Structure 1
């Protein structure tokens, strides 16, 4: 679609080169044009009835000029050359010059794709999409305690073309799908809710071929039934064991953001200036890997046209590096790690995570449990908050269990984990060999922009962590 769209506006490679040259005036260190065409849809079923179905098409171009630490940016929803030139004139205003500079010869060879670049929206008919959601509803309602069910299906297909003054001229074709299910259960007057879901850079048949409709429905019901049995959480400082997979969102928030290049260039991260230092237990090796096939956070190229890579952030507890886009990498005298991301053409790129996870250790979960006299085992999280400068975080566990005398006892509710990312890393004493990635539901927010991400980890033990709860008795 993007080739057709550009052709309709007579925007061939030569014309784009001319526009880019107009943007790259004297005094500008770097400039780029980011063309985008996106189609998205969503379907929502509530209590067996289709409540909404949406379809959205958008396209436009972002124009950016970088001068030192300054960025001039403007975008246009219209792809005719006159509208783009108006955006360019605004963006290059940071220079105050009109004399253009030479643009490097474009490198147009494509990079190996990390996903199938075909739109997922037509992989099922409208009726098949509704039938999938109704099947989820039916499966969830097999449990008599289920009173309400909500199921949604969403898909998107985005095509981008990136042209920049350092020779990038790259296209990418990005599919994305997701299924979500939420249930409300009731028993003896007590009401609880839970949700499940997943997705990635697939088409809709991925959910059918792998029986995920049943898996997601059963998981949502399972979590809700566990919540019905949950008792008050003891408050205090105690050992905490985190389960594999989605609990990696704690690493993402409490540690990952602090390793993004812009925070470290400005000196506002708790990890600033600590490359080569021991910042975590030697049990910890953490990577950000944008190259995993079909994962929600993966990209063939980032939003500056740089191929994504597997970046080691922490190795055996030693801080090895940060995540960079071109702007922050250039200012710090290093190369981009392929982590420039933007929500759309109407936003500037910034260093962001892709799929961030801890690698396997050599311990096992059973030994972790037996090593704890009084503590908790946190399996799933709702969400949390983190302060990048201090590293302090607060996270809510929506599925957790009390550990007593080396055994998992009963589920608990209202567990809140409180700590500091850099301190928690040093208190990790055991890391299992059961690494899991999340099911494909992660969305990361930063400076008002949201992008899809992935998280993961093996089970791990934190020796001491503050737990906020609803009971003072451990």
Structure 2
């Protein structure tokens, strides 16, 4: 028998409305403005193939409840993996004492939140044999791509996350969140040396996605192509030059250099380069950036955030003007901001904070080919492998895993070792052309913040930056 997402914790674990009310009252027993219960049950599967051999296969389940109490700016948080009444009440009283204060509110009646329906909740019990078949197909395809491919690693992981959020302000929201991802890594070698390529993707999708839309063969061929390409790449030039970013995954630069700086908690604490700039121009007028958690099937999308609020399509920067920060309940209250459905947490063992969902730059009107033709000498960055950002000033360093020289308006030689160096606000103001070819990433992003990781999406169209510092060892 299938249990509905609103009844799962009651039917399977005995979490009744009466128990919820008693826990919330215990959480407010030492004084507090707000109390919240976050129940979570996660089942997961992971399979890995290395050198054609299944090297790992695991299945697991975790269950627990995180209890948060707010009193002014103080936060009390406790959690338990035992959902018996005694343990829940003990955790609630612990959180109450941590956040104890003079304020006292009453528990309001629960009102179930109407949420989106962005992903399927049927067909989540796929046989492990079907998942193994995906990684084996990826392994075979990558090996067959080129004789220089010497090592292949492929993996598939998925989970089903069930949540229930109940709070003293009347919040009552639940969701069932599927998530899966296929990864392929390739090592290629020849007389010149070795190179690696990676690819992968997924989202909140059923397993049919990997047979009908983005197949193991697609990801495997892409990983192998990248590795073979890097064998012939020359060292990237260094210096200030024009830079063109390709569509899709290069949007990770927007996520890191801009997105984190627009999370409300950093701005409330004056730790962001964008603090106090609402309503002011922070980018070229061609730049519009949104955070949108409502795109069906995307890795960063969620029907409801981890505080029980439906996600939204939030305009952060509109035609160069800063319009909004991403906020959770606490930041919205303390800063007097509207909520954006951005309260997210890694698990029941973590408290929520403002986080991104799918963050991307909207399409412009320029032809991508015209953007490339406008560059006399510069760099075309297509993929990134990693980077770091200082939120306080927006300064970033990103490593390009696939990049090319642009000479006289044409893409020429592939280069390796290219690093993009700059800061978010300056980079946004150096954007001079924005293509009409907006693309989102394939579904691989995981965002880290204060020790918590959550799945996210990124994206952008082809864009041109008139000036950016490129770090490299070539000429």
Asked if these proteins are the same fold (TM beyond 0.5), I'd say yes
Deviation at 1:94, TM superposition (A): 3.5
Report if aligned partners of 2:71, 2:100 keep a CA contact under 8 Å in 1.
Answer: no
**1: distance between equivalents of 2:285 and 2:39?**
44
**Structure 1 CA distance, aligned partners of 2:375 and 2:105?**
65
1:129 corresponds in structure 2 to: 131
Paired with 1:145 and 1:387, the residues of 2 have a C-alpha distance of: 39
Alignment of 1:178-189 (within 5 A): 178-189=181-192
Aligned to 1:167: 170
Shift of 1:109: 4.7
Question: Higher mean Cα deviation, 94-103 or 414-423?
Answer: 94-103
Segments of structure 2 that go 5 or more residues without pairing to the other structure are none
Match of 2:94 in 1: 90
The residue number in structure 1 matching 2:180 is 177
- Quote the Cα distance in structure 1 between the aligned partners of 2:262 and 2:103: 38
Contact 1:21 1:100 in 2 (8 A): no
SS at match of 1:22: helix
Rounded to whole Å, the distance in 2 between the matches of 1:357 and 1:95 is 37
SS in 1 for 2:348: coil
Structure 1 unmatched runs, 5+ = none
Could you say what secondary structure the match of 2:437 adopts?
coil
- Whether 1:238 aligns to 2:241 is yes
- Cα deviation for residue 335 of structure 1 reads 2.4
What is the SS of the residue equivalent to 1:227? helix
Deviation digits for residues 204-263 of structure 1 (CA, Å, limit 9, x no counterpart): 221012252111011111111111110011100000000000000000000000000000
Inter-partner Cα distance in structure 1 for 2:8 and 2:328: 29
Q: Which residue of 2 aligns with 1:54?
A: 58
* Alpha-carbon contact 2:32-2:102 (below 8 Å) kept: no
Instruction: State the shift of 1:178 in Å.
Output: 0.5
CA distance in 2 between partners of 1:119 and 1:297 (Å): 20
Alignment size in residue pairs: 470
Distance (Å, rounded) in 2 between the aligned partners of 1:277 and 1:297: 28
Check whether the contact 1:118–1:175 (CA below 8 A) recurs between aligned residues. Answer: no
Query: What do you get for the CA RMSD once the two structures are aligned?
Result: 1.5
Instruction: Look up the SS of the partner of 2:129 in the other structure.
Output: helix
Q: Give the 3-state SS of the residue equivalent to 2:112 in structure 1.
A: coil
Q: If the length of structure 2 is used for normalisation, what is the TM-score?
A: 0.96
Contact 2:31/2:96 (8 A) holds in 1: no
Say yes or no: does 1:426 pair with 2:421: no
Equivalent in the alignment of 2:140: 138
> What's the TM-score, normalizing by structure 1?
0.96
> Helix, strand or coil for the counterpart of 2:370?
helix
Say whether the 8 Å CA contact 1:22–1:100 is kept in structure 2.
no
Query: Could you say what secondary structure the match of 1:224 adopts?
Result: helix
Q: Is the 8 A contact 1:63 1:88 kept in 2?
A: yes
Q: Conserved in 2, the CA contact under 8 Å of 1:72 and 1:94?
A: yes
Mark the CA change 1:372 to 1:174 in structure 2 (over 3 Å): closer, same or farther. same
Aligned mates of 2:370, 2:346 — CA distance in 1: 43
- The answer to whether structure 1 residue 256 and structure 2 residue 259 are counterparts is yes
Q: What is the 5 A alignment of 1:50-449?
A: 50-96=54-100, 101-118=105-122, 120=124, 122-123=125-126, 125-142=127-144, 143-449=146-452
Distance, in Å, in 2 between the alignment partners of 1:56 and 1:50 is 18
- The answer to which of 365-374 and 60-69 deviates more is 365-374
Q: Is the 8 A contact 1:110 1:171 kept in 2?
A: no
Q: Is this contact kept in 1: 2:77–2:98, CA < 8 A? A: no
Q: 1:402-430, CA deviations, whole angstroms, 9 ceiling, x for partnerless residues?
A: 11122111000000000000000000000
Partner Cα separation in structure 1 for residue 123 and residue 96 of structure 2: 35
Residues 9 and 205 of structure 1: CA distance in aligned 2, closer, same or farther (over 3 Å): closer
Partner Cα separation in structure 1 for residue 461 and residue 441 of structure 2: 11
Instruction: Report the CA distance between 1:97 and its aligned residue.
Output: 6.2
Kept in 1, the 8 Å contact 2:192–2:231? The answer is: no
Q: In the superposition, relative to structure 1, how do residues 427 and 44 fare at CA in structure 2: closer, same or farther (>3 Å)?
A: same
Which of structure 1's runs of 4+ aligned residues deviate more than 6 A? 97-100
